[in-house]
Amino acid sequence: MKLLLHALLKFILGIVFMGAVLFLPAGTLQYPNAWLFMALLFIPMLLLGAVLFCKAPQLLKKRLNSKEKEKTQAWVITLSSVMFLASFVLAGLDFRFGWSNIPWWGVAIAAVLQLAAYALYAEVMRENAYLSRTVEVQEDQKVIDTGLYGIVRHPMYAATVLLYLAMPVVLGSWYAFLVMLLYPILIVFRIHNEEKVLESGLAGYAEYKKKVKYRLIPFVW
């Protein structure tokens, strides 16, 4: 019950916060792209949360914990939060003043990519029961090297890069998209630090790095 209440509270606060940072800058509730975006974000989130609560409550508990112990990771999380806030506020202002002109088919493609990214995200969580939101080595943790983890070492981050780059396009703002381009750069810093932690504390991770060469994008990096 405590886990359920915690998850529901964070979910409701997330909806309220996202609505505030989008609709207040837009100056109106008549912002169709924002309603589409929130539906694409929160409906899959609710479904995934319900599945985790029923099938893997311990993984849900880990995903609800966002307090980083690593100083480098805390710095990355802080910068990411500022970037997200700036991007969403800018999207609302963009709608109010009509700066961008993204065609409907561009928004539709971005919406499909956002859902695809969520599907990848769900698959990563199915494959990896140790998937915490914070960088840490857990008790009895083992290296996962199958499925998506056999293609890149950080498939969750790959999914979030696709997800977050699609978001501002769904919102109809090229300016918000430019701000969100900082996210892949921050993820590179996060990955470099995370791999140091895992290599020093997780048995078999050094061998895994030799087996799976690419971190984020196959044949690129």
DSSP-based three-state secondary structure for 216: coil
Residue-wise burial string across 45-75, b where 16 or more C-beta atoms lie within 10 A, e elsewhere: eeebbeebbeebeebbbbbeeeebebebbee
Does 63 reside within a domain? yes
CB within 8 A of 213, min separation 6: which ones? Answer: none
How would residue 140 be classed by pLDDT, with cut points 50, 70 and 90? Answer: low
Q: How many CB atoms lie within 10 A of CB 24?
A: 12
Pull the structure tokens for residue 7: 């998850």
Distance of CA 91 to the CA centre of its chain: 18
CATH of the domain at 6: 1.20.120.1630
Does 220 reside within a domain? no
Which among 42, 83, 188, 162 is positioned nearest to 34, based on CA atoms? 42
What range does the domain containing 81 cover?
A: 2-211
pTM: 0.86
Of 36-50, 93-107, 160-174, the range with the lowest mean pLDDT is: 36-50
The answer on pLDDT for 143 being more than 60 is yes
Does 218 reside within a domain? no
Per-state percent for the chain, helix, strand, coil, to nearest 5: 75, 0, 25
Does 216 reside within a domain? no
Identity of the residue numbered 53: F
pLDDT digits (tens, 9 = 90+) for 78-90: 898 999 999 999 9
Q: What is the DSSP string of 123-169?
A: HHHHH-TT--SS--PPTT-----SGGGGT-S-HHHHHHHHHHHHHHH
Which among 82, 66, 191, 34 is positioned nearest to 134, based on CA atoms? 66
Which percentage of the chain shows pLDDT scores above 70? 89
| Number of compact structural domains in the chain | 1
Mean pLDDT of the chain: 87
Does 11 reside within a domain? yes
Does 185 reside within a domain? yes
pLDDT digits (tens, 9 = 90+) for 40-59: 999 988 888 887 777 777 76
